[in-house]
A = this chain, B = another copy of it.
Amino acid sequence: MRGVLEIPENLLPLQAALAQGLERVQARFDGHLESDLPPVARLCRHVERYRGKMLRPSLTLLCGLAASTRAADFDAAFTENQISVAAVCEMVHMATLVHDDVLDEADTRRSGQTVNRLHGNETAVMLGDMLIASAFRLCATIDAPTALAVGRASVELCEGELLQLHHRDSWSIDEPTYFEIINRKTAALIAVACELGAIHAGASRPLAASLAAFGRHLGVAFQIQDDLLDLFGERSMLGKPVHKDLEKGKPTLPVIHHLAAASAHDRSRMLDLLDHAAIEMTHDLAHRIAVALESTGSIEHARSTAKAMVSRAIVELAGIPESPARSLLQVMADAVVSRVR
């Protein structure tokens, strides 16, 4: 994850190799998301500006190294297929960002203006579709099992988003429903990014399954942290507006926990605050919600749940031979819950 990691010195050479790999992923992404129609090509180039932490491609490449019999030799070039898989996962992710911005009526992303803001919702919807179609086109150049795996994860992702929309403004959903949502909308793609990285490094089935499980748990932790950052993060750090979840009626773990744990009085007070937040979120309102969530230990509950998911992810790494790549995966996993952007 670019820019958000504290890397131990012994892993710096690996980090450099990873950075080189990510540059190839970017080139594959940009080269594949192209058009001979100049206005369409200009839109595609706008998407390049959305590029962020590159979490999914980083995981694909590192899981590939960690699963490889040449794990110690991280100077060995990543294969073309690994680079393509990494680009595919980032493309599917980018499509969800472009469509999310339409749904959220967001004006800014990565501190720049969104496609919907600049070119309208119609163009943003179609550009997102083009990203999905381009991802599958690139996928199909690898092999059918890879295309099938990405197809499955993408369907799961949509199911998660649809389930979340179905439960919009249902503040009192239970935790299993919340985990069902984030497991599908976020963890499925991260899991497949890890799994395919391993498979295309020639990993055995059990090894690939361990790395898929690593990605699943990490994805759940990542989304809990994302939801916490939406509650408590800073716009200047995140490069996007905060408090969107509350405004859009998306129940997140601290709120769900609070509503289950609070007294009847506090519960109805929180529902009142949430009603106001849905109309207009203010600094004062955010503060009052935060204080209420703290009072039932709901923030701490979400933080410790995310940490527990990271621990479960790291347990999955135990079956993998020790290597710098495995160490860096562990550093990344820890960073998922300590990151501030």
Contact = CB atoms under 8 A, between A and B. Distances in A.
Interface of A: 35, 37, 39-40, 43, 95, 99, 102-103, 119-123, 125-130, 132-134, 136-145, 147-148, 150-152, 154-155, 157-159, 161-163, 165-166, 180
Contact of A180 (B37, B102, B154): B37
B123 A165 contact: yes
Contacts of A121: 102-103, 121
A154 B125 contact: no
Interface of A, secondary structure class, is helix
A120 to B, nearest CB: 7
Given A137-B148, A143-B144, A162 B40 contact: yes
A151 B165 contact: no
A158 B144 contact: no
Given A39-B166, A40-B163, A103-B122, A151 B128 contact: no
Given A122-B103, A144-B144, A151-B137, A128 B130 contact: no
A120 B158 contact: no
B40 A129 contact: no
Given A137-B148, A151-B133, A123 B39 contact: no
Contacts of A166: 39-40, 123
Contacts of A119: 165
Nearest to A102: B125
Given A129-B129, A129-B158, 19 more contacts: A39-B163, A39-B166, A103-B121, A103-B126, A120-B165, A121-B121, A123-B162, A123-B165, A126-B158, A126-B162, A127-B162, A130-B155, A136-B136, A136-B147, A137-B152, A137-B154, A141-B148, A143-B144, A147-B147
